[in-house]
Amino acid sequence: MHLEMLMPLWAVIPLFGAMLALCAVMIVRRPRQRGAWARRTLMVLLLLVVALRPVTPIEGEQTERMNANVFFVVDRTGSMNAEDYDGEQPRLEGVRSDMRQIMSMTEGARYSIISFDSSATRQLPLTTDSGAANAWIDTLTTEPTAYSTGSNVDRPLQSLLVEISDAKREDPDSSVLVYVLSDGENTDEREAESFSQAAGFIDGGGVLGYGTSEGGQMKIEGGQEHGEYITGPDGRPGISTIDEQQLETIAGELGVPYLHRTDPEAPIEGTMDDVTLRPIPTESTRGVASFDDWYWLAAIPLTALLIWELGEMTYRLPRRLDRYDIRGAQR
């Protein structure tokens, strides 16, 4: 066991030393309140344990980096709420499932996420932290409906070009895999820019399409009408349909396969045919500092004592105010 201190030692010593000294003085000078000040002394000691943060190292854990950089380009437009995936599920459910499946296929790779709706943003820079990627997947939603200003599947193209060209330059020995997850629907009445300029940087990946030709209704995201279905000017339900022709065009321009995704259990095949994953050289493998925390053993009684202290203060304050009122009235 060793310490992973939350504060530097030069701050811990004077801060907690002063608090313990104050408690000791008050115990001596206020004998009627010794119980309360003994409790506060114990609180300071427990807080000191939390600040020192005792941990037990977990031996032998290491992250083995694979020679792949995986880029997810995720459609977050309102149409991805359309309920025509795997029955009547929102399309985003398919996106979540497929992103997790791709991560299991490329375990140990670096991951980056670019999302697009009315604009494109890099949500996650290249990282080996799969936990960060999974956290993003868990909280994935579409953009608020009220802020939607039309969409086009080429919105993320320039951001993607920057990311994959940087990855090729900085990590030339690793493969670049790009997965575009979208329904292909354009609503800004503009022809999409060609993705062919990105093809030279890509070693694998795929375009994954969601939705049906019959289409599905979409729920409103955000605002007072959150969860209600979108309707058109005529009051009829808004329907979104997949644009497979657009998605197949993007796949052809990138030189990767197009897969129509309708079942979360269906394997994602053919997207890594020319890619062989292997560990990067041992000298480049980074050990990860992993340990079990034990500060919570002090945090639990500390919380109980804090509640006790607050209860005492809440009980004493009205009585003191009443005494002051009586004295004021007597004057």
Phi-psi region of 223 (alpha: psi -120 to 50; beta: other; left: phi over 0): left
Q: Are 212 and 105 in contact (CB under 8 A)?
A: no
Nearest to 113 by CA among 58, 168, 155, 163: 163
Single-letter amino acid code for the residue at 247:
L
Nearest to 33 by CA among 273, 286, 316, 295: 316
Residue 55 pLDDT > 90: no
When mean pLDDT is compared across 141-150, 200-209, 296-305, the lowest value belongs to: 141-150
User: CA 215 to CA 91: how far, in whole Å?
Assistant: 11
Decide which of 223 and 126 is more confident: 126
Tell me what pLDDT residue 244 has.
96
**Verdict on whether the full-model pTM lies above 0.85:** no
Average pLDDT, the chain: 87
Instruction: Label residue 75 by pLDDT band (50, 70, 90).
Output: very high
Residues 6+ apart with CB under 8 A from 107: 66, 130
Mean pLDDT for the stretch of residues 222-250? 87
Q: Please write the tens of the pLDDT for every residue from 278-289.
A: 998 754 444 444
Kindly state the tokens that stand for 223.
Answer: 């605002």
Phi-psi region of 297 (alpha: psi -120 to 50; beta: other; left: phi over 0): alpha
Mean pLDDT for the stretch of residues 33-58? 88
Kindly state the tokens that stand for 76.
Answer: 């977050």
Delimit the CATH 3.40.50.410 region(s) of the chain. 68-284
Decide which of 118 and 133 is more confident: 133
Instruction: Label residue 3 by pLDDT band (50, 70, 90).
Output: confident
Nearest to 164 by CA among 125, 212, 130, 211: 125
Mean pLDDT for the stretch of residues 177-199? 92
Mean pLDDT for the stretch of residues 191-215? 95
Q: How far apart are the first and last CA of the chain?
A: 63
Q: Are 24 and 269 in contact (CB under 8 A)?
A: no
Residue 130 pLDDT > 80: yes
The percent of the chain in helix, strand and coil, each rounded to the nearest 5, is 45, 20, 35
Nearest to 242 by CA among 118, 114, 115, 83: 83
Tell me what pLDDT residue 235 has.
81
CATH architecture of 68-284: 3-Layer(aba) Sandwich (3.40)
Tell me what pLDDT residue 135 has.
93
When mean pLDDT is compared across 163-167, 229-233, 267-271, the lowest value belongs to: 229-233
* C-beta neighbour count of 322 within 10 angstroms: 10
